[in-house]
Amino acid sequence: MKPVARSTPSMIRTLPQLACLAGALVLTACTTPEQQAPKPAPVPTLAQLLNEADAAAKAGQYDRALLLLKGSGTAYPSDKAPWLQMAQMKFDRAHYGDAIVDALEVLERDPEDKVANSIVAVSGLRLSGKALADLSRQNNLNGSLRSEAQELAKLLRASIGEDVLLPVAKRPPAPAARRPAAAAPAAKGAPTQGAADPFSGLK
């Protein structure tokens, strides 16, 4: 029969110490901080983007300004400011078709915006005036197109309260002659009212 091993006092004191050490190691492992992911860069405010686009436009960087404005329109889709600035830039450069498209985006967000409504109206008039002048020069303004243009001309004259949409500039009166003379024929190539006003044939 083998003798039974007896616990000595030193072993009894060591066991609780080992248990405490193991517990401390477990707690240390649990409380080790995880590596934090890098924070994303803060999104610029709308005012910052608009100011940057304005500075680019003033520096002659037209394409960069438009790129910044399109980006701000994507980042802040409910705000009309980027679209209004794009419409104004394109209108100032006589890109009337594109200006109308951007101004309509403004009006989707704010139907009462006066600047956007003005850009649509004036851009449309300039495009229409050019097209009518081209058609008149080609003698191709007839039929239903002529009728619709006449109705448009009436509406425009009523809206602005003028009989002539694009009045001819007034010339200073000629000095009185000592004796009446026959009226001189108009010089060749002199501008007429029809040439200055593409709507003159639609009265």
List Cβ neighbours of 34 (8 Å cut-off, separation of 6 or more): none
Residues 6+ apart with CB under 8 A from 91: 99, 103, 119, 122, 123
User: How many alpha carbons fall within 13 Å on the CB side of residue 132?
Assistant: 23
Higher pLDDT, 45 or 181: 45
Q: Residue 187: what pLDDT?
A: 43
Q: What is the pLDDT of residue 77?
A: 94
| Residue 4: both structure tokens together | 């039974």
Which of these, 38, 64, 39, lies nearest to 53 by C-alpha position?
A: 64
Check residues 129 and 98 and name the one with the higher pLDDT.
Answer: 98
Of residues 1 and 93, the one with the higher pLDDT is: 93
Residue 72, burial from CB neighbour count under 10 angstroms (0-12, 13-18, 19+): buried
The yes-or-no verdict on residue 55 having pLDDT over 90 is yes
Q: Name the more confident of 199 and 159.
A: 159
Query: Under a CB-based contact definition with an 8 Å cutoff, are residues 111 and 84 in contact?
Result: no
pLDDT at 105 over 50: yes
pLDDT grade, residue 141 (50/70/90)?
A: low
- Mind listing the pLDDT tens digit for each residue in 187-197? 444 444 444 45
Q: Picking from 39-43, 50-54, 74-78, which range would have the lowest pLDDT averaged per residue?
A: 39-43
**Which pLDDT band holds residue 136 (cuts at 50, 70, 90)?**
confident
Residue 150 — pLDDT band, cuts 50, 70, 90? confident
